[in-house]
Amino acid sequence: MIWLPSSLRDWLDGQTSQLLYPVPSSAAYFLTPVGEPALASADSVSWRIFKNPVALFIGGISAVLLELAHPSVRSGVWEHTSFRTHPRQRIQRTGFAAMVTVYAPRSRAEEMIAAVGARHRRIRGVTPSGVAYRADDPELLTWVHATAAYGFLEAYHAFVHPLAEPQRDAFYAEGKTSAGLYGANNAPSSDAECKALCETTLPTLEPSDIVHEFLGIMAKTPLLPPPLSGLQPFLLNAAVHLVPEPVRGVLGLDMHWRFPSWQRGLVMQAGRAADRIPMAHSPAVLSCRRLGLADNFLYRKWTASK
The pLDDT of 22-47, averaged and rounded, is: 93
What residue type is 12 in one-letter code? L
pLDDT, mean over the chain = 93
Q: What is the 3-state secondary structure (H, E, C) of the chain?
A: CCCCCHHHHHHHHHHHHHHHCCCHHHHHHHCCCCCCCCCCCCCCHHHHHHCCHHHHHHHHHHHHHHHHCCHHHHHHHHHHCCCCCCHHHHHHHHHHHHHHHHHCCHHHHHHHHHHHHHHHHCCEEECCCCCEEECCCHHHHHHHHHHHHHHHHHHHHHHCCCCCHHHHHHHHHHCHHHHHHHCCCCCCCCHHHHHHHHHHHHHHCCCCHHHHHHHHHHHHCCCCCCCHHHHHHHHHHHHHHHCCHHHHHHHCCCCCCCCCHHHHHHHHHHHHHHCCCCCCCCHHHHHHHHCCCCCCHHHCCCCCCC
Mean pLDDT, residues 17-31:
85
Least confidently predicted of 4-18, 69-83, 116-130, 256-270:
4-18
What is the reported pLDDT for 303?
A: 53
Contact predicate 182/204, CB 8 Å: no
pLDDT of residue 306: 41
Question: Is the pLDDT at 14 greater than 60, yes or no?
Answer: yes
Closest CA to 65 of 55, 53, 51, 77: 77
Burial of 222 (0-12, 13-18, 19+ CB in 10 A): exposed
pLDDT (tens digit, 9 = 90+) per residue, 174-192? Answer: 999 999 999 999 999 999 9
- With a cut of 50, say whether residue 304 has pLDDT above it: no
Are 160 and 273 spatial neighbours (Cβ–Cβ below 8 Å)?
no
Burial tier of 50 (Cβ tally within 10 Å: 0-12, 13-18, 19+): buried
According to DSSP, the residues that pair with 126 across neighbouring strands are: 132
Segment 252-258 shows an average pLDDT of 82
pLDDT digits (tens, 9 = 90+) for 81-102: 878 888 888 888 899 999 999 9
What is the tens place of the pLDDT at every residue in 285-298?
Answer: 999 999 999 999 99
Over the stretch 144-180, which tens digit does the pLDDT of each residue have? 999 999 999 999 999 999 999 999 999 999 999 999 9
**Residue 72, burial from CB neighbour count under 10 angstroms (0-12, 13-18, 19+):** buried
**Nearest in space to 242 (alpha carbons), one of 91, 95, 66:** 66
State the Cα–Cα distance between residues 39 and 61, nearest whole angstrom.
24
The answer to whether the beta carbons of residues 156 and 49 sit under 8 Å apart is: yes
pLDDT, tens only, 48-86:
999 999 999 999 999 999 999 999 999 999 998 878 888
What gap in Å lies between CA 16 and CA 2, rounded to an integer? Answer: 17
